[in-house]
Amino acid sequence: MSAEPLEIYLEEQDLSRGLREDVRTGLAAAPKWLPPKWFYDARGSELFEEITRLPEYYPTRAERSVLAERAGEVAELTGAKTLIELGSGSSEKTRLLLDAFTRRGGLGTFVPLDVSVSALRRSTEQIAADYPGLRVRGIVGDFTRHLDRLPAGGRRLVIFLGGTIGNLLPAERAGFLAAMRAALEPGDRLLLGTDLVKDPAVIVPAYDDAAGVTADFNRNVLRVVNRELGADFDPEAFTHVALWDPEQEWIEMRLRAERPQRVRVLDLDVAFAAGEELRTEVSAKFRPERIAAELATAGFAADEFWTDADGLFGVTLARA
Ligand code: AVJ
């Protein structure tokens, strides 16, 4: 079966309006910040794929090993008819689950949701070609805004992998989980991937690799703002910084202006002092107790919690 036409809830103009709003708010703030969702244009998505293959970047490999080991259990325990993937990107690890559901039988529909039309086109076509008989309905949307558009009914499993939930700040995360629970029916399931708290000597290099791919990924947000909003950032004038915050238990990526800068963007004239930093990403790491507690607050019961053999990454199966 070929993939169905994409359902589009997010148009180009919504995206560029969102970027304008975020730039206005974030660059006027002290300290300055931009949300991480703007990394992922075509080049940013490719750089992220490259990051996932770096020796220092353990989360993708660790999560893949959990899924490889547990996919059969997920299929058995959930008996899902519909698999919905939030922030699906290339859906590469999802194939482990699709394979398990194919062996078990009963899965009828796969619904990947992503902001990127290009990533969705590619992944929906490939998955439709590789899983004959599976209905593939891609949704162009933002998982923080379009949870009410998910297809209803029929024992659903929502998967949110990669540790992307760690990009949300605590209040946003609580809002997201509550909205997720509201979008589900009792008995529907959520499979959630979370990077775990560990020695910062392991975490920091994952966000500051020797080959400089993460630095390039980080600077990509400046290229996106330049292209989309006609700004004049000089990406090379900013240094990549990865910093572990032991209180919040999250890693931050920042871009540090090495010398004083003035940037024109929209109708703003933004000044950076020498050494001033722009926060571009928070990636929270979790303790198992906190995952279960936050899920419970949102109205989920955490039924299963699995990690890889090294205890680097956690995958929780929760029930609405
Ligand atoms: C895609 C959000 C899970 O936070 O580890 C990789 C993004 N940032 N290297 C993460 C990212 C820097 C990644 N997530």
- Interval 253-283: pLDDT, tens: 999 999 999 999 999 999 999 999 999 999 9
pLDDT tens digit at each of 320 positions of the chain: 689 999 999 888 888 999 999 999 999 999 999 999 999 998 998 999 999 999 999 999 999 999 999 999 999 999 999 999 998 777 788 999 999 999 999 999 999 999 888 889 989 999 999 999 999 999 999 998 899 999 998 899 999 999 999 999 999 999 999 999 999 999 999 999 999 999 999 999 999 999 999 999 999 999 999 999 999 999 999 999 999 999 999 999 999 999 999 999 999 999 999 999 999 999 999 999 999 999 999 999 999 999 999 999 999 999 99
Nearest Cα residue to 26 out of 273, 213, 279: 279
Neighbours of 165 (CB within 10 A): 25
50-62 pLDDT, tens digit per residue, is 999 999 999 999 9
Mean pLDDT over all residues of the chain?
Answer: 95
Residue 281 marked as a ligand binder: yes
pLDDT of res. 292:
98
Residue 167 marked as a ligand binder: yes
Pocket lining: 116 vs ligand 1, CB cutoff 6 Å: no
Tokens of 65: 């090993």
Distance CA 116, CA 107 (A): 25
Q: Which of 250, 255, 279, 283 to mutate to test the pocket of ligand 1 (most atoms within 8 A of CB)?
A: 283
Whole-number Å distance, alpha carbon 279 to ligand 1 midpoint, is 14
Pocket lining: 166 vs ligand 1, CB cutoff 6 Å: yes
* Distance set, CA 265 to CA 25, 78, 168, 223 (Å): 12, 48, 25, 12
Residue 263 marked as a ligand binder: no
Across 104-188, the runs of DSSP E, i.e. the strands, are 109-114, 135-136, 139-140, 156-160
Whole-number Å distance, alpha carbon 114 to ligand 1 midpoint, is 15
